[in-house]
Amino acid sequence: MATKTSRAQVKPPKHEEEKAPTLVPLRALAAAAVVFVAAGAVLVLEILSVRLLTPYVGLTLETTTSIIGAVLLGIALGAGIGGWIADRTNPRTLVIGLLIGGGLLALLTVPIVRWLGPSAREGGTVGALKVTFVALVPVAAVLSAISPTVAHWQLRDLKASGTVVGGLSAWATAGALVGTFGTGFVLVPLLPVSTSVLAIGILLIVVGVVLGGYTRVLRASAIVAAILATAGLGALTATASSPCDEETRYHCIRLEEVPGDASGRYLILDRDYNSYVDLSDPSNLGSFRYTRWIAEVVGPIKPHEPLRAVFVGGGGFSLPRWLQATRPGSRSNVLEVDPQLIEFDRRRLDLRTSSALRATSGDARLTMRREPTGSADFVVGDAFSGYTIPWQLMTVEWLREVRRVLRPGGIYALNMVDLRPLKLFRAEAATLLEVFRNLRMVTPAGEDGRPAGDNIELFASNGPLPPQRGKPVAHASVYDRAAIVRLVAGAAPLRDDYAPVDQLQTR
């Protein structure tokens, strides 16, 4: 006769006793929030890095390409390696470590750029790549490993794998979108770049600590260590010296006193000397030779009469103020893309705008359309900032708009920067020759008599250009239309659909 055994007396098999406890998935909303924050942080750091790096390596196509490439490399490494590790370890612990580690690496971004940036100035494209990859690849990789790890944590039924992975991917993409728009429209206009990076790093660490406390992965000692590390790196970020007196959405601005000139100031945008301003005498153009070359050509236009001018690019407003001082009654409109630079000039450089000297903020391709046809005696194109080239102000389509605004016989003066072999100059000269009949160049010459480059001043008109009176100031040479045609040697004009100006310019 069989004996009855109570339920309590039955022991489970040995292999069932040793089975690990089931890993409880995160709540769907919490999992979505984690990947949302991580993906958003990657895009915030990517966009902020443009402003961090520009003062050292300039704002060029190579700079932005390096940043995008570094972040994409980090995303690829993080997604691949993170998923592989998540399959071989506890994903709950891994996610928390990635959040805190990613936050700490984010806090290191600013010090890394500030330390390595000065050495990258002379390194060209290689220097930009080095700083970009050191600063961005590790943090992008760590943060991008979070999504596959959270997906592994959430998966419990292969029949729902598409729903889980697709849903998390959607939340990560939403985070990236919010990070992108939030940075461009909110963070950059309102906060210094270093402050925004500090906030992102702290947010990631807080999310990691809260999740670690909630899941009981982090003990009190680990939380204290994370807080201390955050405080230390946060202080390092806050104290890393910025090269800027003021940051705008477009520029890192500095102001320097001119040695031996009590009222003279140099305006520095990003890494380059942009303007000289004499606070007591606006008619003094100082040592910036290109402004004096422009003044020499503008001087003979309607002698002793007021002029109407449009200036594309404001900088320190040196030439508009010079025109007001030397031709009373003249009227100018300065098209400046950066409204915060205009305000800086008002506060620090004593700029006084009025109906006679207006400042219009916005991209000149748009604001130029408001200028009346045939209204300007001359237009000055001075939107270059060192090696930062507004390509949209170099094309045939732009020059036709300039020609529309000029009165018959009006002059367009373009300041640009290029070095031998002068590929960008040749392309722009070909572009000008397609729109204007007459062209002249003023620039330093080498020992062979050919243009040496650096600052190049081009004067274009459909009427006769004022005769050159002797040699220009600042030891420059003058090249007439025939000489420029020989130098162009078949270069293709720049157009809106083909204007590789960053690649053409010699640095």
- SS3 for 102? helix
Give yes or no for residue 16 having a pLDDT over 50: no
Confidence (pTM): 0.83
Mean pLDDT of 402-416: 97
User: DSSP state, 30?
Assistant: H
What is the tens place of the pLDDT at every residue in 56-73? Answer: 877 778 888 899 999 999
Q: Is residue 397 predicted with pLDDT exceeding 90? A: yes
Pairing mode, if any, of strands 252-258 and 376-381?
A: unpaired
Query: 283: pLDDT confidence band, cut at 50, 70 and 90?
Result: very high
Residue 11 pLDDT greater than 90, yes or no: no
- Band the pLDDT of 18: cuts 50, 70, 90: very low
439, β-bridge pairs: 460
Separation between Cα atoms, residue 465 and residue 444, nearest integer Å? 20
Return the pLDDT at 25: 77
Predicted confidence (pLDDT) per residue in 150-163, tens digit: 999 998 777 778 99
Statement: residue 202 has pLDDT above 80: yes
Peptide linkage before 421 cis (omega within 30 of 0): yes
CA distance 194 to 247: 10
Q: 391 burial class (0-12, 13-18, 19+ CB within 10 angstroms)?
A: middle
- Collapsing DSSP states into helix, strand and coil, what is residue 368? helix
The DSSP code sequence of 404-447 is HHEEEEEEEEEEEEEETT-HHHHHHHHHHHHH-SEEEEEE-B-T
Q: How many CB atoms lie within 10 A of CB 212?
A: 22
Q: Are 492 and 437 in contact (CB under 8 A)?
A: no
Mean pLDDT of 296-301: 92
End-to-end CA gap in the chain: 100
DSSP conformational letter for 388: B
Residue-wise pLDDT tens digits, 164-199: 999 999 999 999 999 999 999 999 888 889 999 999
Taking Cα atoms as reference points, which of 325, 381, 334 lies closest to residue 357? 334
Mean predicted lDDT score pLDDT of the chain: 90
Report helix angle 220-239 to 91-120, nearest 10.
20
Indicate the helix (H) or strand (E) that contains 479.
Answer: strand 477-479
